[in-house]
Each structure stands twice: as C-alpha cells, then as structure tokens.
Amino acid sequence: MIRFQSSPKFDKPATIILLDKGQTHKKAFNVITNAVLRDAVKAVIDAGQFHGEERETFPLIVNNKVVLLVGAGEAGKTNMTALRGIVRQAALSSAFKKINDIEVVPHSRDEQAVIAIIEGILIGTYSWDKYRKAPEKTLRPIEKNYILAVAAKKEYEDAVITCQGVSLTRNLINENADISTSDFLEATILGLVRGKKNVAVEILNKKEMKAKGLNLHLAVNQGSPKEPKLIIVKYTGAGKGKGYTAIVGKGITFDTGGLNLKPTGHMETMRSDMSGAAAVIGTLKNALALNLKTNIIFVTAIAENCIGSLAFKPGDVFRGYNGKTVEILNTDAEGRLVLADALAYVEKNYKPSRFIDLATLTGACVIALGYDYSGLVSNDDELAKDVLAAASETDDRAWRLPSYSEIKDYVKSEIADLKNVGLPKGAGGAITAAEFLRSFVNDTPWAHLDIAGTSFVDGKGRFYYGHGATGSGVRLLTAFLKNKE
C-alpha cells in the first residue's frame, strides 16, 4: 500500500532517501529535517562512501531506525525504466525484511519520476508466493506500507490504482492452470462488475457458441473437458451515443500445442497463454476503479488446448462465425482461432469504433523483438499512433511491425478460405498471424498486440519485474483508454 504526505517526517522504522549523483550537501540536506540523520548522512558523503551513482546504496542505523541512501544517477539523466529498477532494488533490500512501514523520500518532484517510483514499488516488489512454505515467504507489497513524501494528486492515486490492475492480471496468470480456468475467470469478472449500473454482461458457453456458429473457438477447446467461454462486458462510461473501444484478449488457460504437441522447454509456462485475457480483466478493474469517462467493450475468449482423442486435428477445416472457412495446418496456432471468432462476433453484434486485441500469439514475435517490446500490427495509422503513445507513456513498450496488401496471400488456403499458419518454417510468423486476425475485422480500425515476449519472465527477472507474469498491456490499455476520455 502507498500513502502520500507532503513532506518527509523521518518518523517511520525505515526510510529510503533517493539522491542524485553529486548532489551538494545543501541540496541533499534541504529535505533532511532530523539533525542527527543529517549529520550521519553528511559524514558518509564527506568520507566518500556515497556519491549518488545509479543503483548505489548505503545503509545507516540512526536513532534505531534503518535509513537507506539510494543513488538515482546523474540529475535529470536517469531514465524512468532505470528509476523503477532502482526503487525496486531499494524496496527489496534485506534491511527492510522485518519492517512494514517505510518512508520514501524522492530525489525529484517531477510527475513522471514520482509515478516511476510508485511503479517501482508496487510492480517491482510484487511476488507470487502462494505455494511457498510460510517461513520462506517474501512479504507481499500489500503487507508493507510505503509513505511517499510528496503531496497526493490524482495522477499519483491513478498510478496506484493502475498497479492494482496489473497485480490482478499477474495473479490470474501465475495461478495454476487447473484453478485459473474459464469458470474462475468468469467468477473474477462477475465479481468486478457486480453492482455496477453502467455495465452489461454477455457470456457464451459451449451450447451458445455452437448455436451461434463460433466453430473456430469450439475447435480449439474440443479436446478439453472444461467449458469454453466468450465473456463480453459492455461498459458505458461516456453515454450511449459515443463509440466503443473493444479490447479483446486471448485466454488459452493452458496450451499443450494440441496434437502438434509442444516439446519440453516450451510447455512449462503455458499457463501464461491467457495473458491477453488476464490483461483485459486487469484493465476492466482499472476502468471501474478510475470511473473512466469512455465507452469500452471488454472481451475475453477463453479455451484450453488439450491433447486426446477428441482434440482437433491438423488438416481439419472449420467454418468461423463470419462464415469464412479455415484449414488447420498446426493445432499450436490456436490463439488466432479463438480471437478470430471473438473479433467477428463483437464486430457484428456490438459494432465498436475500434478494436485492440492482445495475445501471446507467436514465438516469431519474440524472435523479432525479444522480450522487452510487444509487437504491434494495425490497419489504421491513427490508432497505431495512439497505441504507441500510450506504450511510451507507460513503459509498457510496443514496436510497430509491417502490414501490407501482399501478405494476405500468405494465409490463403488451397482447400479453404484461409489457413491458420502462413509461410513455411515460421517465416514472418508474427505478421502472418496478425494478417489472419485482420481477415476477421473488415474495415473497423484495429490494432493487434503480440505480447508473447513481454508477458512472462521465465528466470530471475527483467527490468523491474521478478519471475513470472508481468501484467503486460494493462498500463498501456489503461493509459490509452484514459486518453480517450
């Protein structure tokens, strides 16, 4: 939890003091009103033990309180990504292991710097420890109280709310796949919208999907005993006369690859294949908490891609909701199938002004962009510009990939209207997968975010994230929607 106070008080069991490189004593001590602490810090600086270098730290014990001096680097030159990482490192210091109340004194009152500090705390210290033995647990952020020594303002309070949506998304992804099922996600969504008067919900289960012809979605799920779901939340924040932004998330709660089985080393983190849907749910939480004054359609397309005698097969052909037929060349190219039916269904029945879909869609996007940028493909330059602006604003990074008229030929089938994979050997896999999706949105402005690389950290950490889900897309979408108010 984060609270705000207009100036430092140095009255908590612990304090983090961020200082720029080369700050003079006068600048450093202007904020330090406690004489004993000021003298202690002066002694450290005079002895040359602390210079404010980026990520430099120096712990002190003053009046039985823990004080951690933290270097923010050269004044005005530390980028916001680095600042988030600096704050994360400081907040996770072993010096605070048994301390719950920590005051944080920023080195700058710049709004973007303060927001970066907030995110460094709340996103950086997040941990998924549900299944660890109690003695080994790292305290979760909610168990610590951070008192940030800046005056409260709406932008800062909004940043805290946005981080809460990110945490919900991460929890949904990190949970066991047999817990975070379609029923679990449905219950989560219904819990968020319960009692909200400006919200309408439509839920399609297997029976309804079959009756309406969402056969691509059903094909992916047919090897699983769990119920497929298409859940649509219509949020009217700006009046019914205004257009709606539809955000659509891929929700494959576990992806074995189907009969085109994933090899060892590629399946272990496939509970994260519902990261797009989880990001939509986290953004829904934010939209409700922020009371956004814009109209939004939240769509989660949920299925499980299993192996077994009932699983769909390479070579099969299925007819989608919009009437187009699709030849299945690879059952591990399943996410685009559930998204295709979702896009077509929402376009016909809800007529949104624009689409944004999110999906852990292709390993090819990871090959192209690595793990730090989501891939963006769009049929509309203005929409793409707005998405990229939100990405830059929030450090939820995206990079635009090409889309061109000739690429449509790569997803044409010899026996059906389309095929679910493009060129041989995965060439252009990210953009051909996006082109497949584009075939289901007609002329509606549409942007596709491939978050396969950015949604999950399988290792010790990246930037200011620890192991596991990152909540990719939530900050970007929240900022995009706020900018539409």
Joined tokens for residue 268: 């272990």
The one-letter amino acid code at 223 reads G
Residue appearing with tokens 């953009």:
431
Which of 140, 143, 106, 110 is CA-nearest to residue 125? 140
* Burial of 140 per CB tally in 10 Å (0-12, 13-18, 19+): middle
* Burial of 21 per CB tally in 10 Å (0-12, 13-18, 19+): middle
User: What are the phi and psi torsion angles at 254 (to 5°)?
Assistant: -155, 140
The one-letter amino acid code at 326 reads V
CA–CA–CA angle 191, 193, 195 (5° rounding) = 100
Residue appearing with tokens 């970066």:
116
Active site residues: 262, 336
**HEC readout, the chain:** CEEECCCCCCCCCEEEEEEEECCCHHHHHCCCCCHHHHHHHHHHHHCCCCCCCCCCEEEEEECCEEEEEEEEEECCCCCHHHHHHHHHHHHCCHHHCCCCEEEEECCCCCHHHHHHHHHHHHCCCCCCCCCCCHHHCCCCHHHCEEEECCCCCHHHHHHHHHHHHHHHHHHHHHCCCCCCCHHHHHHHHHHHHCCCCCEEEEEECHHHHHHHCCHHHHHHHCCCCCCCEEEEEEEECCCCCCCEEEEEEEEEEEECCCCCCCCCCCCCCHHHHHHHHHHHHHHHHHHHHHCCCCEEEEEEEEEEECCCCCCCCCCCEEECCCCCEEECCCCCCCHHHHHHHHHHHHHHHHCCCEEEEEECCCHHHHHHHCCCCEEEEECCHHHHHHHHHHHHHHCCCEEECCCCHHHHHHHCCCCCCEECCCCHHHCCHHHHHHHHHHCCCCCCCEEEEECCCCCEECCCCECCECCEECCCCHHHHHHHHHHCC
The one-letter amino acid code at 285 reads K
